[in-house]
Amino acid sequence: MTRSSLLERWDADDRSYLALRIKRRLIPAIMGGVIADAIGVPVEFMGRGGFNITGITGYGTYNQPPGTWSDDTTMTFCLMENLMEEQDLEGLMRKFADWRDHGYMTPHGHMFDIGRTTEQSVDRFLSGFSADQWGGGLESDNGNGALMRISPLVFLLFKEFNFDNRLKLVEEIAHVTHRHPRSTLGCVFYIEFLLGLFNNNKPLKAYKQAAEICLNYLKGTKYEKEFPAYERVLNLSIPDLSKDEIVSDGYVVHSLEAALWSFLKHDNYRDIVLEAVNLGGDTDTIGLIAGTMAGMCYHKEGLPEEWLNEIVKKDELLDICKRYFDFCTEKAIAKVEAEGGF
């Protein structure tokens, strides 16, 4: 074999390895979130201790059939489609408006749940407000509506080693509905934590790295004044908290804490998701966030197949995931080649 042939073979092997890294994580992370979302839907807003979920059920809060997913999954997949279509932020908001008003990207052709801040952002978009005014910027707008849909960015950012560039993309995507710095800080931490898991770090190491990145790179920015709100996350005390100290509502800080606590408490997807959902409150979103973490960490082997098979429109969602995998793989290869090759 000639030197040039050997180099070409190495390059091909590197491309295959890069694709495998994405493939091994993307579908488990995204579908891990979908499954947990569907498990949480029937008991959303129910109080802790008033139920005991052990798998996928139906009806309950929204009277939806088993396997039905919520706005969390809808908005996540709208984002994936928007990224693949390489549309601008208006394109993303058009998808959100189409979902709200016409049932686009829903399990049964109609929208049955939407957050207040998200709905108001869609109203402002449709009323002709400028992009920097769509998202809610008040302290009362710090729900979890950006956090719950942001995870697909990981698969476009794992080869981006410049923190400022990662931050810029997270801000752009989060701010269309939620532009208060507290909400965005939660999204930044979540993405950095998922990136740590993507890179095969153990959960506690990924947690520590994400906290250090936020504390070091966001010091002196508008996000620093939000550090106290995330004190329990950033000082690494989440694993030491008792269940009674975890609040599982829709406030972005509480949702992140609850999902992270559930994830760090167990070492398998099933127990993580059931822990998160059985906390009560905003069960679908906290479940989805914890399920995404668990899918990223424990890969396809960790997802209960019987749960996956009950998901409404499973094949359609998997098809979008597979197309997003192709898209992210092409982007990653192009970035590596532009920076000097493999």
CA angle 216, 200, 276 (to 5 degrees): 85
Residue 88 is labelled as binding a ligand: no
pLDDT at 342 (0 to 100):
63
What average pLDDT does this structure show over 170-193?
99
Percent of the chain with pLDDT over 70: 96
Place of tokens 């070409």: 8
Is 76 marked within a binding site? Answer: no
Domains of the chain: 10-338 (1.10.4080.10)
d(CA 256, CA 24): 24
**Six-digit token string for 123:** 């109203």
Average pLDDT, the chain: 96
284 labelled ligand-binding = yes
Angle of CA points 119, 187, 266, to nearest 5°: 110
Show the tokens assigned to 33: 């979130």
282 known member of a binding site: yes
Of residues 249 and 2, more confidently modeled: 249
Kindly indicate the confidence band of residue 341, based on its pLDDT and cuts at 50, 70 and 90.
Answer: confident
Length of the chain in residues, anyone? 342
Q: Count other Cβ atoms within 10 Å, centred on residue 139.
A: 11
Q: Alpha helices, DSSP H only, in the chain?
A: 3-40, 71-85, 89-102, 116-126, 154-157, 163-175, 181-198, 203-217, 231-234, 252-265, 269-277, 283-298, 305-308, 314-338
pTM over 0.85: yes
* Residues 6+ away with beta carbon under 8 Å from 327: 83, 84
Contact 27, 300 (CB under 8 A): yes
At 234-280, the pLDDT tens digits run 999 999 999 999 999 999 999 999 999 999 999 999 999 999 999 99
Half-sphere exposure of 9 (CA within 13 A, CB side): 6
Find out whether 164 is annotated in a ligand binding site.
Answer: no
| CB proximity list for 7: less than 8 A, separation 6 or greater | none
Long-range pairs of 100-104 with CB within 8 A, sequence gap ≥ 24: 104/74, 104/78
For the ranges 13-27, 37-51, 78-92, 139-153, which has the lowest average pLDDT? 13-27
d(CA 104, CA 89): 17
70 marked as binding residue? yes
Instruction: Fill in the DSSP letter of residue 47.
Output: P
Closest CA to 67 of 30, 31, 23: 31
Residue type (1 letter), 107: P
Residue 335's alpha-carbon distances to 23, 40, 193, 254, 341, in angstroms, are: 17, 38, 22, 36, 9
Res 4: pLDDT: 57
Rg (CA), the chain: 19
**CA distances to 189, 195, 277 from 209, in Å:** 10, 10, 26
Q: Is 31's pLDDT higher than 50?
A: yes
